[in-house]
Every structure is written in C-alpha cells, then in structure tokens.
Structure 1
C-alpha cells in the first residue's frame, strides 16, 4: 500500500453537517437576495445538486449542475455564475465559523508525505475548487499537500458512485490494492472497498444515514488513525 485517499468534510475537516449546511445557505443567498427568494434558491440548488449526484454521463459535475440550474431558473445564468464566483471568493469564507478544529489533520498529512506516500483529497466533488481550497486551509493544510484533489470541475461522478473512485485511480495511475480510503461516511466512503481498496472508517463525525452494515478494514477515532499512520513504514 502506497496511497491514501482522504475525505474532507467530517474527516480532515471536522464539522457537524447540519450546522455547516445551514450556514452555507444563509451566507450564499445573501449574494442572490435581489434575484431570487431564499426558499426557491435553496430548492433549485438542492435539485441541481441531486441531479449532479445521480449523473452517470461523461460530463463534468459542473456542467451537470449548471445545466440543471439554468433549466430551473428559466433564463440565462451568466449573472448567477458571476455571483457564485463572487461568493466562493468572498462570502464562503464566513462559513469557516461552522467548522471545528483538531490537531490531527496536519500531523497525519505531514507524516504521510515524509514517509513517501501519495496523498489524494477524495472529497465528494459537489463544490468548485475555490470552495475546496478554502476548506483545505480551514483544516490547517495546503493544496500542495495533495497529489490530486477532486472538485466539480475535474470530476464526472459523485460519491457513492463507484466510477468516482475508478476515475481517481485512472488519474493517479494506481491499483485499488495500493490504496486506502479514509472517511467518515459509511455509504459514500466505504464503497471504495468494493474495488479492493482498504478502508478506514473515522468515527468522530460518523455518518450512517441508512443504518447500513459497516464493512471496513479499520475503524476508530482521530487518535487511532494517527497511531495507524505513525506505525506505517516509509516507502
């Protein structure tokens, strides 16, 4: 094994999902307040996101989201696109107040890089790279800490679609048995095990909405993950 895939939200970036989502929509709608009422805006974003999650076509997630959002709005969305960009440049940073802090993320990545492991940020690619880069910083990390980062601009599938993980493997030129997926979501992250990857379920912010049976290689809290990484040999 020579490669780690890490989820972001609830894994490298500790956060409580419901609090994060509420803050996210509260801040984002401020940018669109004069164009569309909040209830309708939130509905359209969720609908377009759901279509993006279920996509199986070879289109980027960004294309899928924007095409559906434009269909829902019923007009040219260039102004919306400009405001989305402005939000992710500026207002999105306010959402940092909804995340928690821990001391493990920096240590984990630092150890793995020093030991020579490939490190991938396998965050569900529902956000543009701008938003992901902000969240990387909130976790105390840098873009350069990762050999590859999934975003809605460069991905064609979402978790838990197995094609999402296949696409990562193709890009980084790795076999499943060379990799371990670390995440907190039973459905979205542990599905990587179906390809033959090892999996580590992080339990501090565990998500198991459908109460699925848990099938993973390892499981534990941040301290357990740290001890595991620290015990690994250098490559």
Structure 2
C-alpha cells in the first residue's frame, strides 16, 4: 500500500530545460563572485565540489559540509571571504532566473491531489542546492505554500541522487518503508533508481532526461495529466 509520494522538482514539478537553466545559473553566479574567484575557476570548483557531494558515502556529513569543505580547499579562500557573495546572490539575483523555467498549474493540482488522498508528500529534489535556492524554485512552481512533509536540501541531507541511500534517507524521514513510496520524476538515472530500494516509480515523460545507462523499467510512465488522473482515480502505482 502506498503511503508517500516523492516528487522531483526540476523538470517535474517545475518544467525546465535543466541543462540550459544550470548554464544560466552558473553564468550569473560566477559574475557575482568574480572579485573573489575568477569565473572560469569558480565554475570548475563548483562542479568538482558538487561531484564530491554526489560521491560522498559518509553518513555523518551533510551535503553542505562536504560541499563547503571541498570548495574552499579548491578555491583557496576562507568561507568568510566568499560566502557573503553567495548569500547575496541567492537573495537578490537568483529569483531573476525564473525567466528560464516554464511553470504549469498542473503541478499544484497534482500535489494537492496527493494530499487529498492522504499521502505523505515530499519534494525529492537532488539536494545539491541550499535551502534558499530550492524554496525559490518551489515558489516558481507555485507549490511552496503546500504542506510538504519534507523537502530535501543540502543543509539537511547526507546523500545525493542517484545513490540509493538518498531514497532510504527520505523514507526514514517520512517514517515509512521504501516499499510504501512512489518516486515521481523525469530523470531515468537519478529518479528511477529509487526502485532499487523497493520504491514504486512513475516516469514523467515530459522534460525527460535519459543518459542511456543504467536503464530502469518504471512501474508507470506518462504525462502530468496522466499522473494527475492516476492519483485522483487510484490507478496504476496508486491502486490499493
């Protein structure tokens, strides 16, 4: 029996061309800290520190701790020198990136339908961003005011997609077994991997991302409209 719905954010609740969005995000961020670290170096350090988060298997370290440790070591600067620039960017400039996403009212309807059915609902976005950035994207998706049980942000999580431990950690936070969860997302490798811990999966075929390997067989596939119908009618992975 399904007790919890896990929704990916980028490309799922918030339709976007993820590659294009990340490009604009890095370009904007780099220009705002150019006085501390040159743009070309900053982008490289950000990617390397992010990769360190994704590879991390130490459960006692949050993603934030892993990222900060690796980034500062690579950049050769102190946190006091550069973090105020990051904070200012997220507060003042990050909201302007909304022009690079394509919100849909269906996202709110889908989440509301899951809540009406009594499911515990979590935002299972890859926690490689700070809370302020993820909450801003939830605002763009017009779902930020909904009563999510949990939102995965890098300050709190200890693993990233596509590690199976990421999905186990969410289930633990929600107080359910993985087998009682449905992971809903548009990324074959990062989202459908949830089935390796026993979760059901719904592969959203809009804004889909598939790198070719590994290949998973989703329990269900469809559009946002079909997802909404399945939740409301209790069909497919949402059937009792």
TM, length-normalised to structure 1 = 0.95
Describe the SS at the equivalent of 2:227. Answer: helix
User: What's the CA shift for 1:211?
Assistant: 4.4
What's the Cα RMSD here?
Answer: 1.6
Q: 1:113 to 1:184 in 2, by over 3 A?
A: same
Structure 2 CA distance for aligned equivalents of residues 52 and 178 of structure 1: 27
Q: Is the Cα contact below 8 Å between 1:7 and 1:123 reproduced in 2?
A: yes
Give 2:29's aligned residue. Answer: 28
Q: How far apart, CA to CA, are the structure 1 residues paired with 2:204 and 2:198?
A: 19
Give the corresponding residue for 1:229. 231
| Runs of at least 5 residues in structure 1 that lack an aligned partner in the other structure | none
Aligned to 1:77: 79
TM-superposed deviation, 1:187 = 0.8
Runs of 4+ in structure 1 displaced over 6 angstroms? Answer: none
How far apart, CA to CA, are the structure 1 residues paired with 2:12 and 2:138? 11
Moved more, 45-54 or 85-94: 85-94
Cα distance, 1:142 vs structure 2? 1.5
- Quote the residue 2:12 is aligned against: 11
1:145 partner SS: coil
Equivalent residue for 1:161? 163
**Relative to structure 1, is the Cα distance of residues 234 and 137 closer, same or farther in structure 2, using a 3 angstrom cutoff?**
farther
**CA offsets per residue over residues 187-209 of structure 1, 9 Å max, x none?**
11111111111100001111111
3-state SS, counterpart of residue 9 of structure 1: coil
Residue deviations 1:200-227, cap 9 Å, x none?
0001111111344331100011111111
Aligned partner of 1:122 among 121, 124, 130: 124
User: Could you tell me how far apart the structure 1 residues matched to 2:92 and 2:7 are?
Assistant: 26
Which is further off, 40-49 or 108-117?
108-117
- SS of the aligned residue for 1:188 comes to helix
| CA offsets 1:127-182 (integer angstroms, 9 cap, x no match) | 01100000001001125431101100000100010011111111111012211000
Give the TM-score, by structure 2 length: 0.93
The equivalent residue for 1:53 is: 54
Counterparts in 2 of 1:1-235, with a 5 A limit?
1-58=2-59, 59-232=61-234
- In the alignment, is the contact (CA less than 8 A) between 2:195 and 2:201 conserved in 1? yes
- Does structure 2 retain, via aligned residues, the 8 Å contact 1:32–1:83? yes
Aligned residues: 235
SS of residue in 2 equivalent to 1:79: helix
Secondary structure in 2 matching 1:199:
strand
Q: Is the 8 A contact 2:63 2:128 kept in 1?
A: yes
Residues in 1 aligned to 2:72 and 2:212: alpha-carbon distance in whole angstroms: 31
